[in-house]
């Protein structure tokens, strides 16, 4: 169902939450929160996304707020630490926010950093996690084929669990997998999957060993579950630097997947310097709980975005609701 705009706006709030360290070029994270019959939900596509792509995020938010979630198979989700593109000497302080984790996802290939910086960051994570720790690196599709192949060789001594979206296109991922097959390093598809124009027909079997899925960009928990079943590859549920409300949506997706072989990227609440709940979804004992989150009015008031940004989000919401209709 598509709710009436007045029902959504009745309890809608736009927040601007500071980050502990810069991430994806951001120093804070904007999100719109509103409440449906089944609880709080979140609409937070990144500001550069167009209305067509953002409408998937709104569909997910409406589903989470206006429908019951699918039955869950687990009530605790093991998560990875997320290490932004920071100097190696800052890695330990970020890892401290993820108590008990055994896995770390390291951002690489960011503008303003070199492959040497990336290798130093990965090496420090390996030192801190020890030989039993699991390391995955995420390039967000920034490399061409040759750059990706060179990077894989540079990271190989640190025993990668997998390489996430090293190149942008499905065709490039397919060729990269062919080139590095002898190294036995898995490749995961993220943007190459969820940014497809047609999620019902996208195929990644030849280009990836596993897929990264996010509830909001894929149009909701049910759409994501259907996509995972159709593709037939192992899935890792991740987040998009969400508030605890958005992380709750991701946790319910992870909890509903029949088989969850990998730790999930749902611990990113540890990267926020503030949140919207007095009981935020933060990592503990290596994971997060599967539960709905109650929003605190005082925190909403403290972190309310300025009127100009609030008006911008309301206008975006109206446009995206029209697309849902």
Question: What are the structural domain ranges in the chain?
Answer: 5-68+297-324, 76-289
pLDDT at 199: 54
- Nearest-CA neighbor of 9 among 245, 325, 315? 315
Q: Which listed residue (13, 78, 121, 214) is catalytic?
A: 214
Among 56, 107, 194, 222, the active-site one is 107
Q: What is the pLDDT of residue 325?
A: 73
Task: Say what the pLDDT of residue 293 is.
Answer: 97
Residue 238 pLDDT:
97
Q: Which CATH class is domain 76-289?
A: alpha beta
In this prediction, residue 201 carries a pLDDT of 45
- Segment (H or E) for 103: strand 103-107
User: Which residue, 102, 103, 84, is CA-closest to 94?
Assistant: 84
Q: How would you classify the pairing of strands 13-23 and 287-289?
A: unpaired
* 5-68+297-324 CATH: 3.30.390.10
The closest of 64, 62, 60, 110 to 83, measured between CA atoms, is: 110
What pTM was computed for the model? 0.94
Catalytic status, residue 214: yes
For residue 76, give the DSSP letter. E
**107 noted as active-site residue:** yes
First to last CA, the chain: 9
pLDDT per residue of the chain (325 residues) written in tens, 0 to 9: 789 999 999 999 999 999 999 888 899 999 999 999 999 999 999 999 999 999 999 999 999 999 999 999 999 999 999 999 999 999 999 999 999 999 999 999 988 889 999 999 999 999 999 999 999 999 999 999 999 999 999 999 999 999 999 999 888 999 999 999 999 899 999 876 665 554 554 566 678 999 999 999 999 999 999 999 998 999 999 999 999 999 999 999 999 999 999 999 999 999 999 999 999 999 999 999 999 999 999 999 999 999 999 999 999 999 999 999 7
Phi, psi dihedrals of residue 107, rounded to the nearest 5° = -75, 135
Binding residue positions for Mg(2+): 138, 164, 190
What's the pLDDT at 202? 52
Count of residues in the chain: 325
> In 3-state terms, what secondary structure has residue 168?
coil
Farthest CA pair distance, the chain: 57
Which residues contribute to the annotated binding site?
138, 164, 190
Q: Which long-range contacts (CB under 8 A, 24 or more apart) does 200-208 make?
A: 202/170, 203/170, 203/231, 204/170, 204/173, 204/231, 204/233, 205/231, 205/232, 205/233, 206/174, 206/177, 207/170, 207/171, 207/173, 207/174, 207/177, 208/173, 208/177, 208/233
């Amino acid at each position: 169902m598509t709710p009436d705009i007045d029902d959504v706006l009745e309890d809608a709030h736009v927040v601007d939450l500071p980050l502990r360290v810069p991430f994806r070029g951001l120093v804070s994270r904007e999100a719109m929160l509103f409440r449906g019959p089944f609880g709080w939900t979140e609409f937070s596509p990144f500001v550069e996304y167009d209305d067509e792509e953002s409408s998937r995020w709104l569909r997910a938010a409406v589903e989470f707020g206006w429908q019951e979630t699918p039955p869950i198979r687990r009530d605790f989700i093991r998560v990875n630490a997320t290490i932004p593109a920071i100097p190696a000497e800052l890695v330990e302080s970020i890892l401290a926010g993820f108590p008990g984790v055994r896995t770390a996802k390291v951002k690489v290939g960011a503008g303003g950093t070199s492959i040497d910086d990336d290798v130093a960051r990965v090496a420090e994570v390996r030192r801190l996690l020890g030989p039993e720790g699991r390391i995955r690196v995420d390039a967000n599709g920034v490399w061409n084929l040759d750059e990706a192949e060179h990077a894989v060789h540079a990271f190989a001594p640190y025993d990668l669990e997998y390489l996430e979206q090293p190149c942008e296109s499905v065709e490039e991922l397919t060729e990269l997998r062919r080139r590095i097959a002898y190294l036995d390093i898995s490749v995961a598809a993220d943007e190459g999957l969820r940014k497809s124009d047609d999620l019902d027909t996208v195929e990644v079997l030849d280009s990836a060993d596993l897929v990264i899925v996010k509830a909001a960009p894929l149009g909701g928990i049910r759409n994501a579950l259907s996509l995972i079943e159709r593709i037939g590859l192992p899935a890792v549920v991740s987040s998009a630097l969400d508030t605890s409300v958005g992380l709750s949506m991701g946790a319910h997706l992870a909890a509903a997947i029949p088989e969850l072989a990998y730790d999930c990227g749902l611990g990113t609440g540890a990267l926020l310097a503030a949140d919207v709940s007095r009981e935020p979804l933060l990592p503990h004992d290596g994971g997060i709980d599967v539960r709905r989150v109650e929003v605190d009015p005082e925190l909403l008031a403290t972190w309310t975005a300025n009127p100009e940004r609030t008006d911008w989000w309301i206008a975006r919401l109206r446009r995206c609701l029209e697309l849902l209709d």
